[in-house]
Amino acid sequence: MDWPHDPDGEDGSEGMRKFGHAIIVKKVDEEESFPLSKADFVEEYGDDPVRMDYETVVSLADVFEYVDDDEFEDILEFHQAIGDGLRASPYWQYNPMIGESKTA
């Protein structure tokens, strides 16, 4: 896929390789962005790349298919919803509760 910017470049990960949750949360401002609508957020950033592991990059919209909440009142609620969504998605490869990858 042709991404709107390099997932490992300045726009994608501040010049260094960052993954999943860190990439998504950098797109909001704790003071200014909330309350936040899932639909508005995905409309604005849905095509942006999110690196999930060293070889997998998906769109932010793909990740948000697994986020259940439609509205986020604050940054904490946003963090929790993204974490839950990532763990529910097929893109999350490691589960620390069982200490092995989903593909193992």
**Distance, CA of 17 to CA of 72 (rounded, Å):** 27
In angstroms, the first-to-last Cα distance of the chain is 27
For residue 95, pLDDT over 60 is answered with no
**Distance, CA of 32 to CA of 28 (rounded, Å):** 8
The predicted pLDDT at position 5 comes to: 55
Does residue 38 contact residue 67 with C-beta atoms inside 8 Å?
Answer: yes
Task: Tell me the residue ranges of DSSP E strands in the chain.
Answer: 36-37, 49-51, 57-59, 71-72, 94-95, 100-101
Q: Which has the minimum average pLDDT: 39-48, 50-59, 67-76? A: 50-59
pLDDT digits (tens, 9 = 90+) for 6-44: 565 666 555 555 667 788 888 999 899 999 999 999 999
Domain ranges of the chain: 10-98
Does residue 58 contact residue 4 with C-beta atoms inside 8 Å?
Answer: no
| Mean predicted confidence (pLDDT) in 60-69 | 95
Higher-pLDDT residue of 70, 5: 70
| Mean predicted confidence (pLDDT) in 69-97 | 88
The predicted pLDDT at position 96 comes to: 56
